Each structure stands twice: as structure tokens, then as C-alpha cells.
A and B are shown apart, each in its own frame.
Chain A
Amino acid sequence: MTVFHFFNCAILTFGPHAVYYSATPLSEYDTLGTSVKAALVYLGTALVKLVCLATFLKVSENDSFDPYQELLKALIGFIDVAGLYFALTQLTHRNISQNHKFQAVGLGWAFADSVLHRLAPLWVGARGLEFTWDYVLQGIEANANLVLSISLAALGSLIWLRKNKPRTLIPIIYACAGIVATMPSITSYLRRGLGWHLPKVVGFELFTSLVMAFISCQLFAACQRPSS
């Protein structure tokens, strides 16, 4: 609904990324390069996923929840995790602490996700005269996705970059990482299988992202204690 609304939804969708970058010490240590590289890795991952989906998935006529198709989509979703692993470990970063590395990677990852999935619908749809709440909800979803990406990056860095973890926490770390990685499948099940409407789904995403962020923060802090 007019360019004003588009502007509002755009700052809701992309504003938090910029705010996160400038508010945290990331801007002081100039980790923009890392974020940009993480965004490019996301782009590559998305392309690989696209090819796999096109090859292996059948086009369904109705919008129902097909367990086998969803399982296949979840498996292909693990390519995401592989991409994140690549971004965290293989890219040559400058000497930044692990604390900042996962944040930068998560930020770049989430920004690329928002741009790829939400910019085009926003541009095409939010500028029209007709008003819907869809784009505001999409922006809130982008926020939840940012939190989730950063928590996933944190858990990923714990799994792959930190060698001395307390033994008891390892299964919890893997469990949390698994939950966060399969979030897309869970949301699509809620939308199609249970028939939840968009506001409910977005609310659920927001809630789980905050919970997951809190848990991963605690885990990160717990793992950091032995070394400090």
C-alpha cells in the first residue's frame, strides 16, 4: 500500500540487521567482510538446494502436508547446515575472536536469507494500493529468522570450532542445533498440516527463536567458563 508502507516494511525487515551490526562490537572490529562472505555462501547454498529440490521433489496438486515430501525437504534443508559449516570453518577470516565470528556469520546468513526470500515479494506487493498485514508479519518473521540464524551459528561454532566442551553439554548442544536446523520443516508442518494462519505461525517462530537464543546463550556461556 503505497511506497510509505513499503518503506515501513523494509525497515522492519532489514533494519534489525543494520542495528545489530552497529550496536554490537562487530562494527568496531570491522567484521563486514565476514558477513558479506557468509551471505555469498548462503547464496551458493540456496542454489544447490534449489537444484536438489527441483530434481528430487514432486509438484503436489493440493497444499496438504505430505510426510515423505516434507522429509525430503528436511534432508535437503541440512544442506543449509553444511553451508554454515563451510562458512564457519573454511573461510579464511582475519583474526577475530570466536565470539564475534559466529555473530558475523549468523548476521550475514540472515541478511542474505531476508533479501532472497522477502525483498522481491515486498517490492512487488507492498507498493500496491491494497493493504494487507502480510508484509508486516513477514518483517516480524525476518526478525525471528535473524535470532534463529545467530543461535544456529553459535551452536555450530560450539560444535565445530570449540574443541574442549564439557561432556554433559554435548548432547544438549546437538539437540538444540537439530531443532533449530529443522525449524523450516516445523513451520511448514504447522502451516499446512495443522492449518495455522500466518499470524499464529509468526508468533510461534518468534517465541521459539527467543527461547532458542536464550538456551544457546546459556550453552555458549557454559562452554566458555572452563577456558576462562
Chain B
Amino acid sequence: MAPRKAGERDMLESFYSVIALVFILVACVELCDAATVVDVYRLIQYDISGVPFGSRLAALNHHAGSLQFAPGADLSRTVVIIPVRELNMSFVKEYIVQRQPLGGLLFLLPQMFNFDNRDGMGIYHQNHGKELLRNVMVELEQLLIHANIPYPVYFAFEDSDIDAVLADINKNDAIGQPATATTGGFKLVVSAPEPKKLALPTITNIQGWLPGLKSDGDASQLPTIAIVASYDTFGAAPALSVGSDSNGSGIVALLEIARLFSLLYSNPKTRGRYNLLFGLTSGGPYNYNGTQKWLRSLDQRLRESIDYAICLNSIGSWDNELWIHVSKPPENAYIKQIFEGFSNVAEELGFKVGLKHKKINISNPRVAWEHEQFSRLRVTAATLSELFTAPELMERTGGFVDSRHFVNETAIIRSIKLVAESLARHVYGHQGKNIQIFSDKSSLAVNPSYIQLWLDLLSRTPRVAPFLSKNDPLVMALKKELEDHTAEVNVQHELLDGMFTFYDLTKARLNIYQVASVTFDLLLLLVLGSYLIVLFSFLVITTRGLDELFSLFRRPPSRKVKTA
């Protein structure tokens, strides 16, 4: 009897050890099944000359809270979810500027700014309520870009899932029960590695060359006119910086002008005696770094042959006034000629063009307009823009506020007509004459669907330069488009100026878990323990009788009696 029992006990022990081993092996399986998973976009992280800016962390693992927390509550382990519609700027300023401890921030943007959202795409909205929201968002973006934030900051779009979660959190916070480890609630988890520096951020400049008609007697170089636009953007959320107006409008205008002039230049009879140089430059937000490098790389003779350059910057949302910004004084003969040409055409088209002069300060590294890079190399240049004042560093560079809804195609079409007509009159020598080369019913009419197509594409493509690789699909597409319209296309890759350092990780997935508190678990354990005890007592009473139950507690004394 006894050896058999021992054998059975050995078998049981080995059985249990096998079970334990299986459990340990299975413990390696980690599954992540959240109720809600949301795409989130991280705030940009960058350094300027070693000074850190933006959000310095990416991984997130805290409880969620809302704006309705009790004043003075400790939020250092809470992620505050803020819908931008109900943004309280003073709260944000307090926590960011005064560097109060916070677990994380999650901003909810209206679906209107979501370029993936197909509803209402391509429609120009002019709505006062949206203007107010837009101003708030611009202010928020500027605040976030220039702050050094030691916790993760993410942006997400409002949708039904996250709205339901936020409503729940609001309810809990209003009762006064913020989510912590002991009271349950929602937990936001983003599992992301430590953000790393981008090793070699490249900026790519694309140039297209349309040669003019060289007659046999001409030995010297033909004069050149350059049309330039910078195509990259910068914003608080690099994965959302599509920059429809700054500078999607400029790119579209440049492509359309290239297309129109390629039609004219394809026939030797209508080819002008000017070369045309089209430049799509990168590095715009960083003091037009790319333009500078591109100009330096140009052949000196070519650079000297440039008569003047027109830079396009933000021409998509104006009503009846454009500005030409110059750095040479307005009394200069060339500037006068250019401005007269433009204002004549503008008058015919029914709007005004103003001239604005801004002196360059050589010692100041800040380059506010693209034409200043040309002027520093003594090339006459001007920028055509709807903006009256020069933007500051990293302002109006196509952040998440700059969405498709705020761009007016008609404005772009009028700008294209302005530039194209003025250019054509200069090239063909028809200054001052009332001739319309690109009239609406001719074969050289501005094509609205071409503009719409490119504008829609650019409004869906984030274009922050350090995150665009050398062979990025957009860069290849722009190159191919210029190849279609011009004779010779060159692509130049440069490294971004060492002053700026960027960090990766712009998109992530946020898991929202509904967690129960530790007290709930303890309560459940208590309930289950008492249930099992009750079950045990019930079974003992029904099968062995009440006396057995009491004898279980009386066993030790009875044993003593036995041995004695």
C-alpha cells in the first residue's frame, strides 16, 4: 500500500513539474489585445545647434485623464487628452512653458484636418468658426515647436472610438475619480523604442532646363529667367505636415507654368530668346538652405546669365492682393521693369499687386524669403506671395493647420496667369501691349484639373525634408513631371545644414486599454475565497455530516490524545 502511494506521488510530482514547464514556455507568448487602437502622430523632436526642442520621449504607458481634473492634482503619471476644439490655451501654456510634470499629452484634431479623410476633399471652405479654430491651432503649433517638452506629445484625429473613451474619462473625472492604479479607468500605451537621431538628412533639389532659341549669329549665352519654389514643409506633426498653401500652391504653379512654356517652346517658331530654369528646392523652412546650396552648385556663367528669378511662396489663399517682395531698392531699374510688367498684367486680370522692400542683413543668418538667397549672390530676384510680412523661422511652413480646405484653386489659377503672362511678355518683348497669350479658350489655357490633381496629391503627402529619402516617391514624381515639360532635368542631393538635427519616429499606434483597479481584483479574490470556503463547508456537511466539519478544526488535539 505505502510503496504504491509513494510511486503515485512521484508520478504526480513529475506531472506537476511538466505542467509548470509548459506554463513557463507559454508565458513567453505576449499578446496585445486592446479594445481600441488608434493611429497617432508624434510631435517633432529636433535640435538647433544642440538646443533641444519638441517632445523628447516616444514611449507611453500611463493612465488617461481629461481637462476636468481637480486643480492641484498630480498629473505626472497621467496622459491628458485634449480635444483641440475645447483647447484651454492657459492650461497648455502653464504645463508646457512652466515645465510642470505631466505623463503625456494627446491632442485630438478635428477630422477636417485629416488628409486621409475623403469627405469634403477639394472643397474650399470659408467659415468663420473654422477660422477661429485655425488661429488657435496655429498658436498651439508655434507653442509646441518652440518648447522643450520632456514627455511624449501625440496628435490623433477625432473618431467615434476615441470620443467614447474621452466621454467616459470626462465622466469619471467629473465625479472626482481620476484614473490611477487603484481606481481603474483607461490606460494609454504606445510601445515605441527610444527615438534616434536621423543620421544623414538629405535635401534634394530638382531643376529643369528649358533652352531658348539660339540663332546662328549668337555666340554668347542667352539670358535666363528662373522660376523657383521650395517644396518641403515643417510642422508640429511631421507626419501631418502637408502644407497645401505653403508651399503646395507654389509647386503646382511652377509645374503648370513649366507645362505652358514647354508647349510654347516645343515649336521653334514660338521659342523665346530666353532660357527658362525651373527649380524645385528643398530645405525651405531652414533658412532656404537648399536654395543656397543649389545656387552655389550652378555654373557661374549660368548664374551670371540669370536676368531675374521669380520665387513662388504661398499663392493659394488670397482674394485680391498679391505682394512682390524684393531686397533691391524699388528705384532700381530692373525692379521697376519687373514690377511694372506684373502690375500691368494684374490690372488686366482684375486685382492688385504691391511691392515690398526688405533689406538684407548679411550678418544675420535668418533668410526670410527665398529671393534673398539669390540676392546674396547678386542675382536679381523677387518673391511673389500673398503674405505681407516675412514669416519668422518655422512660421507658415506648412504645418498641420495648412490643409486642403483652406486653399482656393481660383487664386492659384490667377497667380499662374499673372506670372505666365508677365514672363511671356518679357520673353517675347511685348511689354505694355495688351495681348493675352494664355487666354482661357486657347490651347494654352491654364488647366484647372491639372492644378486640382497636383494640389490634391500634394495635400496628401507630408513633405518634411529630413524624412524624405533620396528616392522618395514624391521626389521621383516631381522629377518625372519636370522631365515631361523640360529638356534637361538635374537632381542634386545635399546634406542638410549641420545646425539642425532631427529624430525619427513620427507615427505610432496607440493602444487604449480599459483596466480594472487593484481593489477590484482584491475584492474579487475575497469573494472567490469565501465562495470556495462556503462550497467546501456545504459539501462536507452534505456528504459527511456536520460533525465532520467541526472535527476538521478539532483534529490536532485529537491526535495528541491518540499518541498519549
Q: A128-B32, A130-B513 are in contact. Are A19 and B524 (CB under 8 A)?
A: no
Q: Is the CB of A129 within 8 A of B528?
A: no
Checking A15, A129, A136 against B187 with a beta-carbon cut-off of 8 angstroms, the contacting residue is A129
CB within 8 A of A129: which of B23, B189, B543? B189
| B26 is an interface residue with CB less than 8 A from chain A | yes
Which residue of B has the minimal Cβ distance to A136?
A: B524
Whether A24 contacts B539 by the Cβ 8 Å rule is yes
Contact with A along B504-537 (1 / 0, CB 8 A): 0000000001111010010011001001100111
User: If A5-B516, A129-B187 touch, does A22 touch B536 (CB 8 Å cutoff)?
Assistant: yes
Q: Is the CB of A23 within 8 A of B535?
A: yes
**Any chain A CB within 8 A of the CB of B35?**
yes
Do most interface residues of chain A lie in helix, strand or loop, or is the interface mixed?
A: helix
Residues of B within 8 A of A15 (CB): 528, 532
With contacts A2-B521, A130-B513 taken as known, whether A24 is within 8 angstroms of B543 at the C-beta atoms is yes
Q: Is A222 an interface residue (CB 8 A)?
A: no
Do A129 and B544 have beta carbons less than 8 Å apart? no
Q: Which residues of A contact B199 (CB under 8 A)?
A: none
Contact B539 A4 (CB under 8 A): no
In contact, A130 and B34 (Cβ under 8 angstroms) = yes
Given contacts A20-B539, A23-B543, contact A129 B513 (CB under 8 A): yes
Q: Is A89 an interface residue (CB 8 A)?
A: no
Q: A23 to B515, Cβ gap below 8 A? A: no
Whose C-beta in chain A lies nearest to the C-beta of B33? A128
Q: Which residues of A contact B8 (CB under 8 A)?
A: 32-33
Instruction: Find B514's partner among A19, A130, A136 (CB 8 Å cutoff).
Output: A130
B51 in contact (CB, < 8 A): no
Is A125 interfacial (CB 8 A cutoff)?
Answer: yes
Number of B interface residues in the complex (CB < 8 A)? 30
The distance from the CB of B12 to the nearest CB of chain A, in whole angstroms, is 8
Whether A8 lies near B535 (C-beta < 8 A) is no
Q: Does A221 make an interface contact (CB < 8 A)?
A: no
Q: How far apart are B6's CB and chain A's nearest CB, in angstroms?
A: 13
Tell me the number of A-to-B contacts counted with CB atoms below 8 Å.
71
- 8 Å CB interface, A1-27 against B: 1-2, 4-5, 7-8, 11-12, 15-16, 19-20, 22-25
Does any Cβ of B come within 8 Å of A214's Cβ? Answer: no
Assess whether A131 is interfacial by the CB under 8 Å rule: yes
Residue of B nearest to A26 (CB): B543
Interface range on chain A (Cβ under 8 Å from partner)? 20 to 34
On whether the beta carbons of B539 and A131 are closer than 8 Å, the reply is no
Residues of B close to A32: CB separation below 8 A: 8
Question: Which residues does chain A contribute within 8 Å of B32, judged by CB atoms?
Answer: 128
Asked whether, in the complex, the Cβ of A124 is within 8 Å of the Cβ of B34, the reply is no
Chain A residues positioned under 8 Å from B536 (CB to CB) = 19, 22-23
Is B31 within 8 A of A1, CB to CB? no
Interface residue B499 (Cβ < 8 Å from any Cβ of A): no
Query: Taking A22-B536, A25-B544 as contacts, is the C-beta distance between A124 and B29 under 8 angstroms?
Result: yes
A3's nearest neighbour on chain B, judged by CB, is: B27
Residues of chain A within 8 A (CB-CB) of B189 are: 129
Tell me if A8 and B524 are in contact (CB < 8 A).
yes
Q: Are B543 and A25 in contact (CB-based, < 8 A)? A: yes
In the bound complex, residues from chain B placing their C-beta under 8 Å from that of A5 are 516, 521, 524
Bound Cα distance A130, B525 (Å): 18
Instruction: Name the B residues within 8 Å of A8 (CB-CB).
Output: 521, 524-525, 528
Interface assignment of A123: CB less than 8 Å from any CB of chain B: yes
State whether B516 touches A131 (Cβ < 8 A): yes
Q: Given A5-B521, A19-B539, is A11 in contact with B532 using a C-beta cutoff of 8 Å?
A: yes
Within 8 Å CB of B23, what residues of A? Answer: 123
CB distance from A122 to the nearest CB of B (A): 11
Q: Contacts of A4 on B, CB cut-off 8 Å?
A: 518, 521, 525
Decide yes or no: A1 and B535 within 8 Å by CB, A12-B528, A125-B33, A128-B33 being known contacts.
no
In the bound assembly, the distance between CA atoms of A119 and B532 in angstroms comes to 19
Give the distance to chain B from A16, nearest Cβ to Cβ, in Å.
Answer: 6
Q: Which 9 pairs from chain A and chain B are nearest by CB?
A: A23-B539, A129-B513, A131-B516, A24-B543, A4-B521, A130-B513, A23-B536, A23-B540, A19-B536
Task: List, sorted by A's number, 9 A–B pairs whose CB atoms are closer than 8 Å.
Answer: A1-B515, A8-B524, A8-B528, A11-B528, A12-B528, A19-B535, A127-B31, A128-B513, A129-B189
4 extra A-B contacts, CB within 8 A, seeds A8-B528, A15-B532? A24-B540, A24-B544, A130-B34, A131-B516
